[in-house]
Amino acid sequence: MSAAPRHRVATKPSPRELAKLEELMLYLAWRSEDDPNFGQTKLNKLLCLADFHAYGTRGQSITHQPYRRMEYGPAPRFLVQAQRELFKSKAAVLVERESTEGTTQQRLIPIREFTAKYLTADDITSAEKALEWLKHATATEAMNRSHRWLPWLVTPPGEDIPYELVFFDRPAEVSSSDVDFLKATEEKCG
């Protein structure tokens, strides 16, 4: 019996995959325009939650972007490239302001609406689910939640988080011995 195929993630995003990431960013920024806690950190978490929710419910992420385990939580590998495209095309700007936590917040502000042709109804449903999960969360709270998320916990720092780990994630708390066991198993199995 052969192993199930791994979810394909972009090593270099196609123009369509990059466009989907850009449009998802615009959608989430547009929907978060009244959220005083919305900034770059929260955007990264929303993107990740939407993509992993889509993969968990239908076996296909929205953007096909790899998410890396970074110090402050998961972040799309091609986020900077997508933002550059949004700024270059004057679709969005990045504004710095003081956050509700008293820190400097970098906030993506859409100049134009998202392009619906790149996002399906199912994509929007996953994005809305992510927005619901982090509705009142500050950047720190969103980061702390991501640090308790099993796929982030078991992925080595700087590495891509396998989409398949979403099937092992459950709301229950994960003990440190569970994390150690999963890391040891991953090392043995490659």
**pLDDT of res. 184:** 76
- State how far the Cα of 86 lies from the Cα of 154, in Å rounded to an integer: 32
Q: How far apart are CA 61 and CA 55, in angstroms?
A: 4
Entry pTM: 0.83
**In the chain, what are the domain boundaries?**
15-189
DSSP 8-state secondary structure symbol assigned to residue 59: S
Confidence of residue 175 (pLDDT cuts 50, 70, 90): low
Q: Where are the beta strands (DSSP E) in 9-162?
A: 67-70, 73-76, 92-98, 104-110
- Over residues 132-156, the pLDDT tens digits come to 999 999 999 999 999 989 999 999 9
In tens, the pLDDT along 96-120 reads 988 788 888 899 999 999 999 999 9
Angle between helices 15-31 and 79-88 (to 10 degrees): 80
104-110 and 67-70 beta bridge pairing: unpaired
Residue corresponding to tokens 């806690």:
37
